[in-house]
Chains A and B, each alone.
Chain A
Amino acid sequence: MMMDMTPNPEGARGDRDVTPPSATKPLGDRPLADREVPLRADGAMAALNAWLDGEAPAPRLANNQLTPEAELWSRISREASARKEVRTPAHVAAQIMHALPPATATRLVAAPAVHTSAETFARAVPGQATTSGITMQPATLAVLAVVFLTLGAVVGRFL
């Protein structure tokens, strides 16, 4: 069965036909989006919500039958309950495992690798998730250390 489940943030005002697939007549233009659905002030909806939240008994008519709205929600609840039985298709787990990258990136974070021929000095760039880095060879580091030590000695002698 094919159906259109495209969300319609514009509600019924958009260009799309929002008639339910199995409806025999249009359900009419109704406010649909989040902000367009003011909570009803009537007690019927409040009673329904209280019942569905487990805070009150089911709303009933004088003859003790469920109200039409409560009957509708009983049916919706049965349909929703049936969906709890849905299982993941068998191939999905294998598909996921097959698609995994060779190693977790965070393993390096959790257990940092020993630096070998190069040292990386990463400097976080404010406002960005990524970092930029400067890679230096150990020999360059040694030369820089000697230069700074010499500079320090010279400055110290003149002070």
Chain B
Amino acid sequence: MGTLVMPERKLWGTLHGGYRANVQTPPQTLPADIAEQADVDARSIARVLTGDREAFAVLVTKYSDPLYRHALNMTGSPDVAEDIMQASFIKAFSHLGEVRGRFDAWIFRIVANGCKDWLKNIRRTHVSYEEDDQPSHLTTPDEELNRSELRVDLDWALGQLSPSLREAFVMKHVEGRSYEEMAEMLDSTVGALKMRVHRAREALQALLEEKYA
């Protein structure tokens, strides 16, 4: 039976958590709620490895939303996002005994790599960002129209960024992760990711400011 070992470098964000403001100093130990989630996941994984497939359904349900959001915003296509999700979870299922650390970070890296591979390999395709995928909290038709226009233009502008810049922007602005959490997830440094986000912002602003600013 495979054993789960907590990572030496602590991940202190959570995939299904909300926005985490910029935290200046990382905690020295894994926060209790995250450690508890890691334990719960480890128990689920142990059950899957003994043949309980339903335990895997628990993991799929638990982490599908943030992973789907990441894939959707990286690819811009619900269909592609679903395909990447499915391929990633199948890969995770097939290599579940190799998890050494937090499952959520591990599965995130699988999905993120799937998105980047897709972006690198794709040549030209038409994809849709369906209206139904976007909830609306706006009330007036004018606001809705303006937002819809910005949504389309932002999707277009994101599509012009390189995969690494788009990934950094999506993680920071759409998923609301801190730079420290991004660094842990992507195995990079805070400085490098800050630079990537800044470059992404500049590129987006260059693309959009003539029309909007």
Contact = CB atoms under 8 A, between A and B. Distances in A.
B76 A3 contact: yes
Contact of A20 (B68, B77, B94, B157): B157
B51 A103 contact: yes
Contacts of A75: 150, 212
A69 B211 CA distance: 11
A92 B205 contact: no
A22 B206 CA distance: 16
B11 to A, nearest CB: 20
B5 interface: no
Given A21-B153, A72-B205, A6 B98 contact: no
Contacts of B10: none
B163 A7 contact: yes
Contacts of A126: none
Contacts, number: 240
A49 to B, nearest CB: 5
A109 B98 CA distance: 9
Interface in B161-213: 161-166, 173-176, 179, 194-199, 201-213
A16 B125 CA distance: 12
Interface stretch (A34-42, A128-136, A142-150): A34-42
Interface in B7-31: 18-19, 21-22
A32 interface: yes
Interface stretch (A57-65, A76-84, A114-122, A151-159): A76-84
Given A4-B126, A83-B73, A106 B97 contact: yes
A1 B57 CA distance: 32
What range describes how many residues of B lie at the interface?
A: 35 or more
A8 B206 contact: no
Nearest to A2: B128
A27 interface: yes
B207 A37 contact: no
Nearest to B97: A106
A39 B159 contact: no
Shortest 10 CB-CB distances between A and B: which pairs?
A106-B97, A5-B76, A110-B2, A110-B97, A34-B162, A88-B68, A68-B213, A88-B64, A5-B159, A20-B156
Interface of A: 1-9, 11-12, 16, 18, 20-25, 27-28, 30-34, 37, 39-40, 45, 48-49, 52-55, 68-69, 71-73, 75-80, 82-89, 92-93, 95-97, 99-101, 103-107, 109-111
